[in-house]
Amino acid sequence: MEMREAILSLHSEGETCQEIARTLSSLKVTKSTAWYTIKRYKYTGSVENRPKSGRPRSIRTRKLIEATRSKIRRNPKRSIRKLASEAGVGRESMRKVIRKDLKMKAYHLQKRQLPSAAMVTKRLSRAKVLRDWMKAWPEKSIIWTDEKNCTVEQACKSHNDRILARNIKKVPVNNKTIFRRQHPASVMVWAGVTSCGKKTPLISIPEGVKVNQVLYLEMLTEKVLPWAQTQHWDHSYCFQQDEAPSHTANKVQEWCQKFFPEFWSKEMWPPSSPDLNVMDYAIWSILERKVGVKTYSNVEDLKVALLAAWADLDEEVIRRSCGAARKRLNVVIKAKGGYCE
């Protein structure tokens, strides 16, 4: 209102729209704003806002919005149904208050392992060590590795997987159901990706065979090391593995130290840190989305699908996923050893 009055006052003194905009530049008045204000005054004879068209709000009032904001601030776990019931309004109205007026969304609560104080301290100190290593050797490729158990059953995410229908009762059972067995057949696979976009072989571990230090050393000796030796590395590479018992065994640690050019020992990798391993936070999820679209009749069919999805994994996706590792280390350090997602 004050700005409009100032524009009209200068206009009455004979100033042009361009001169008014220059004089009132501190109020962020443009030439078009001055022209529109003058035109509207000549048409209506007033600087007041015009009456808004349509029916005025009767439900999503400022009072309801502020009351809802206050309730959510005190307890953000309230459901939309409960908030609507307490306010005496419909759920759709309350949903609009939350989404449009308060700009909020409903997020799923996350389940996490409760970290001990010692684990948090160790995560923080080792995350700093890894971050400093990456800063010192940015040109070296890191081979990120991990194992995963894959079952023949179709993957299902209850908060994402949906089916569209007018009446769910009329949808055939096979179309609306993902069946589960008590003990589905499965296969354990081992794989790794590098920060330069390479992929190790996808290695299947026979069903029922426990991955101990003997089997793991045999796999590293016969498959992983020969693969690494045949690759072209611009500035050498570093081998990463988590803290699984077969990885932290003394014989395995000594072998890795002897045969890999660079190796992150068990004293370097942060404990309970799947959120820092590229395979865990990115690659396995991509593979699961590709392979878990259906249920397989046997393990052999599952292996074929896994190999096809692994071969189809794009190098650029791998590089981008690996590029996020350093950012995640910084988040863990900023969180004083807490989780980064």
**Is 339 within the bounds of a domain?**
no
Q: Strands 262-263, 141-151: parallel, antiparallel or unpaired by DSSP?
A: unpaired
The overall average pLDDT reported for the chain is: 89
Asked whether the predicted pLDDT for residue 67 surpasses 90, the reply is yes
Asked whether the predicted pLDDT for residue 165 surpasses 90, the reply is no
Give 270-284 pLDDT, tens digit per residue: 998 999 999 999 999
Q: What is the dihedral of CA 327, 330, 336, 341, to 10 degrees?
A: -10
The helix (run of H) or strand (run of E) holding residue 91 is: helix 91-96
Residues 94 and 225 both lie in one domain: no
Structural domain harbouring 272? 117-334
Instruction: Indicate the range of 146-155, 231-240, 299-308 predicted with least confidence.
Output: 146-155
The helix (run of H) or strand (run of E) holding residue 262 is: strand 262-263
Write the CATH number for 300: 3.30.420.10
pLDDT score recorded for residue 158: 61
Residues 86 and 139 both lie in one domain: no
Q: Please state, in angstroms and as integers, the Cα–Cα distance from residue 95 to each residue in 60, 82, 87, following that order.
A: 10, 11, 12
pLDDT score recorded for residue 63: 93
Q: Measured between alpha carbons, how far is 249 from 254 in angstroms, rounded to an integer?
A: 9
**Is 259 within the bounds of a domain?**
yes
Which DSSP string corresponds to 186-239?
A: EEEEEEEEETTS-B---EEE-TT----HHHHHHHIIIIIHHHHHHS--SS-EEE
pLDDT score recorded for residue 281: 93
pLDDT score recorded for residue 57: 74
- pLDDT, mean of residues 229-246: 93
Residues 255 and 128 both lie in one domain: yes
Give 172-193 pLDDT, tens digit per residue: 877 777 766 777 888 999 999 9
Asked whether the predicted pLDDT for residue 224 surpasses 70, the reply is yes
Give 1-45 pLDDT, tens digit per residue: 688 888 888 988 889 999 989 898 888 889 998 898 888 888 888
Q: Measured between alpha carbons, how far is 62 from 70 in angstroms, rounded to an integer?
A: 12
Residues 329 and 200 both lie in one domain: yes
Phi-psi region of 165 (alpha: psi -120 to 50; beta: other; left: phi over 0): beta
Query: Percent of the chain beyond pLDDT 90?
Result: 61
Q: Measured between alpha carbons, how far is 313 from 184 in angstroms, rounded to an integer?
A: 26
**Is 289 within the bounds of a domain?**
yes
Residues 66 and 199 both lie in one domain: no
pLDDT score recorded for residue 41: 84
CA angle 201, 321, 317 (to 5 degrees): 70
**Is 107 within the bounds of a domain?**
no
Q: Measured between alpha carbons, how far is 67 from 81 in angstroms, rounded to an integer?
A: 15
Residues 224 and 328 both lie in one domain: yes
Asked whether the predicted pLDDT for residue 156 surpasses 70, the reply is no
- Domains identified in the chain, total number: 3
pLDDT score recorded for residue 179: 67
Query: Percent of the chain beyond pLDDT 70?
Result: 95
Strand pairing partners for 237?
A: 141
SS3 141: strand
Asked whether the predicted pLDDT for residue 341 surpasses 70, the reply is no
Give 77-124 pLDDT, tens digit per residue: 989 999 999 999 999 999 999 999 999 998 888 777 778 899 999 999
Secondary structure E strands in 55-159:
141-151
The residues, any chain, with a CB within 8 Å of residue 257's CB and separated by 6 or more, are: 263, 265
pLDDT: which is higher, 41 or 227: 227
Residues 295 and 198 both lie in one domain: yes
Tokens of 81: 């149904």
Residues 157 and 292 both lie in one domain: yes
**Distance linking the first and last C-alpha atoms of the chain:** 47
- pLDDT, mean of residues 235-249: 94
**Is 55 within the bounds of a domain?**
no
**Is 341 within the bounds of a domain?**
no
Residues 174 and 292 both lie in one domain: yes
pLDDT score recorded for residue 5: 86
> pLDDT band for position 334 (50/70/90)?
very high
**Is 108 within the bounds of a domain?**
no
Asked whether the predicted pLDDT for residue 155 surpasses 90, the reply is no
Residues 149 and 40 both lie in one domain: no
**Is 112 within the bounds of a domain?**
no
Residues 128 and 220 both lie in one domain: yes
Which DSSP string corresponds to 51-78?
A: PPSSPPPSSS-HHHHHHHHHHHHH-TT-
Residues 27 and 75 both lie in one domain: no
Give 294-321 pLDDT, tens digit per residue: 888 899 999 999 999 999 999 999 999 9
pLDDT score recorded for residue 47: 76
pLDDT score recorded for residue 159: 60
Amino acid at 265: S
- pLDDT, mean of residues 53-76: 88
Q: How many residues does the chain have?
A: 341
